[in-house]
């Protein structure tokens, strides 16, 4: 019988787990026996995916949903038999609000995947002046930028839709996802589709309309999904199902196993072998190592092997954020409406956004309670995370009181701080990734995956994990990756 090839995945967040799942599939297809181990430093699986269940409340400390348009998330749920657990957002009360000059305004309808496709709803929103509206409406006529430029998200959106639409609506919608500063974010790395639409159609709105038409003409029989979907019992359900399946498939899962060092043991006759040194001094060897860890951890592990890769990884900055869950008596609902609100940077508040979780997903709280989830922190606004829980909650409550009149004492409060949690794709990110790929590909079987590189969303991490798995198979089969530069 052929000796199984050894693979170690470092990091048991969604990226590492999805890599292992895809690896099992691909190895079976390729007829390649493998022995896979996942090492996770924490005491539990899932990384940023953490669901808490407190009585009848279900809170998410990290992500609470994922984009359904990016197929990888849904596909994984379906493969794991979670189809009946997938939930859409509540069909009623779908609107959201945006803060403008201290008051909440309805976010205009007709924002097609972030971008305004109709002027009408903006006319009545009171968000833009006449000149701001006119400028936004001229998006069709704005010539495309140079295909070579790596423009910032702020420059791109202001150029195409005007400064008002950018500052008052698009900045909080789009930079907020990354807890980022749009002035520093690379458009091509964060919203590559908008770059492509501009290049192909000369206008984002025209491109989006064309894409929408072609989708509706090929309408499928698949269940209709809202833009964001989740799982009934919280996203940890995905992690629990995934780990159970991996164990059934013979993958070895080890928690409390922090990797402190990575060494090349030998590369004789073209066969590479790596040693991983764990914090307890024990060691493990593998022919292929996937680092599914944050970039700054991967930097420390790679620096002794290749200082250049370590240096490039150090250039990926991270933002710290916090989510604060609060439950209030349900009688307040009438004062709120919609799924929540977003806050532009120019409003200079501590809150970035708030979601009424129990309106979005009614079964996440008992019917007599309103469950809210507030976001703070992000690039340039991280100081607030230094405050004690009590002070932090008091700050948020004061903002909720002034914005939507919530003055009631919360019946439940939970603060989740996420230090260095959101990788930032700064201008030049894609160029640095190319250099990184070129350097790391000199080490056969050594692969980087995770939120730091090609997308921070859960579906992006799952898709990147599948690409990493493909590279492992290629490397173990003696084939190099066609995209990699040697």
Q: List residues binding ligand FAD (CB under 6 A).
A: 10-16, 39-42, 47-49, 62-66, 258-259, 292-294, 297, 321, 323, 418, 421-422, 450-451, 456-458, 461
State which residue, 89 or 125, has the beta carbon closest to ligand FAD.
89
Q: Which is nearer to ligand FAD, 66 or 122 (CB)?
A: 66
Nearest distance, CB of residue 417 and ligand FAD, angstroms: 9
If the CB atoms of residues 234 and 294 are measured against ligand FAD, the closer one turns out to be 294
8 Å CB contact between 362 and 186: no
Residue 283 sits at φ, ψ, to 5 deg, of -135, 155
Nearest approach, Cβ of residue 66 and ligand FAD (Å): 4
Q: How far apart are CA 238 and CA 230, in angstroms?
A: 10
Contact 48, 17 (CB under 8 A): no
Q: How far is the CB of 261 from ligand FAD (least distance, A)?
A: 9
DSSP states of 234-247 = -THHHHHHHHHHHH
171: helix, strand or coil: helix
Q: Which of 49, 446 has the CB closer to ligand FAD?
A: 49
Beta carbon of residue 450, minimum distance to ligand FAD (angstroms, whole number): 4
Nearest distance from C-beta of residue 466 to ligand FAD, angstroms: 13
3-state secondary structure of 52: strand
Beta-bridge partners for 377? 321
Q: How far is the CB of 280 from ligand FAD (least distance, A)?
A: 12
Nearer to ligand FAD, 336 or 376 (CB): 376
Q: Which helix (H) or strand (E) holds 469?
A: helix 458-476
Could you identify the residue written with the tokens 């309805």? Answer: 106
Rounded Cα gap, residues 232 and 247, in angstroms:
23
Least distance from C-beta 278 to ligand FAD, angstroms?
8
| Residues whose CB falls within 8 Å of the CB of residue 142, separated by 6 or more in sequence, listed in order | 159, 160, 203
CB 99 within 8 A of CB 107: no
Q: Which is nearer to ligand FAD, 12 or 162 (CB)?
A: 12
Pick between residue 62 and residue 340 the one whose CB is nearest to ligand FAD. Answer: 62
Point out which residues pair with 106 in neighbouring strands: 97
Task: Tell me how far, at minimum, the Cβ of 207 lies from ligand FAD, in Å.
Answer: 24
Let me know if 106 is exposed, middle or buried by CB neighbors in 10 A (0-12, 13-18, 19+): middle
Q: Residue 136 or 231: which CB sits closer to ligand FAD?
A: 231
- Please report, for residues 50, 68, 85, 440, the alpha-carbon distance to residue 238 in angstroms, rounded to integers and kept in the order given: 11, 15, 10, 31
Residue that has been written with the tokens 């895809």 in this structure: 22
- Least distance to ligand FAD from the beta carbon of 96, Å? 14
464: exposed, middle or buried (C-beta count within 10 Å: 0-12, 13-18, 19+)? buried
Q: Return the number of the residue (111 or 278) whose C-beta is nearest ligand FAD.
A: 278
């Amino acid at each position: 019988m052929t000796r199984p090839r050894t693979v170690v995945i470092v990091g048991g967040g969604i990226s590492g787990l999805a890599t292992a799942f895809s690896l099992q599939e691909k190895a079976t297809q390729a007829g390649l026996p493998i022995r896979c181990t996942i090492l996770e430093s924490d005491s539990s699986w899932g990384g940023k995916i953490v669901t808490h269940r407190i009585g009848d409340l279900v809170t998410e400390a990290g992500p609470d949903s994922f984009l359904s348009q990016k197929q990888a998330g849904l596909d994984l749920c379906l493969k794991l038999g979670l189809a009946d657990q997938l939930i859409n957002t509540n069909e009623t009360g779908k609107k959201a609000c945006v803060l403008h000059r201290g008051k909440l305004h309805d976010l205009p309808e007709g924002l097609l995947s972030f971008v305004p496709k109709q002027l009408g709803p903006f006319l009545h929103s009171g968000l833009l002046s006449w000149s701001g509206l006119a400028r936004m409406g001229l998006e069709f006529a704005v010539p495309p930028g140079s295909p070579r430029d790596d423009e910032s998200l702020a420059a791109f959106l202001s150029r195409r839709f005007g400064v008002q639409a950018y500052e008052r609506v698009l900045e909080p919608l789009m930079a907020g996802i990354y807890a980022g500063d749009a002035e520093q974010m690379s458009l091509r790395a964060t919203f590559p589709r908008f770059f492509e639409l501009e290049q192909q159609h000369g206008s984002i709105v025209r491109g989006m309309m064309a894409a929408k038409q072609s989708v509706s003409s090929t309408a499928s029989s698949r269940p209709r999904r809202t833009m964001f979907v989740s799982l009934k019992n919280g996203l940890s359900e995905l992690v629990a199902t995934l780990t159970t399946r991996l164990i059934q498939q013979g993958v070895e899962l080890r928690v409390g196993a922090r990797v402190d060092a990575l060494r090349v043991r030998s590369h004789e006759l073209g066969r590479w072998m790596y040693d991983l040194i764990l914090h307890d001094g024990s060691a493990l060897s593998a022919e292929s190592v996937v680092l599914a860890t944050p970039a700054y951890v991967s930097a420390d592990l790679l620096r002794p092997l290749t200082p250049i890769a370590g240096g490039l990884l150090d250039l990926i900055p991270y933002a710290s954020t916090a989510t604060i869950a609060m439950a209030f008596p349900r009688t307040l609902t009438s004062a709120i409406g919609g799924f929540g609100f977003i806050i532009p940077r120019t409003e200079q508040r501590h809150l970035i956004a708030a979601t009424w979780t129990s309106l979005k997903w009614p079964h996440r709280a008992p019917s007599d309670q309103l469950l809210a989830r507030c976001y703070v922190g992000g690039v340039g606004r991280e100081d607030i995370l230094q405050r004690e829980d009590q002070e932090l909650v008091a700050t948020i409550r004061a903002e909720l009181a002034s914005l939507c009149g919530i003055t009631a004492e919360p019946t439940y409060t939970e603060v989740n701080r996420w230090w260095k949690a959101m990788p930032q794709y700064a201008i030049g990110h894609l160029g640095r990734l190319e250099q990184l790929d070129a350097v790391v590909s000199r080490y056969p079987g050594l692969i980087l995956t995770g939120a730091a590189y090609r997308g921070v969303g859960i579906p992006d991490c799952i898709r990147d994990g599948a690409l990493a798995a493909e590279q492992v198979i290629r490397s173990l089969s003696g084939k190099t990756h066609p995209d990699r530069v040697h």
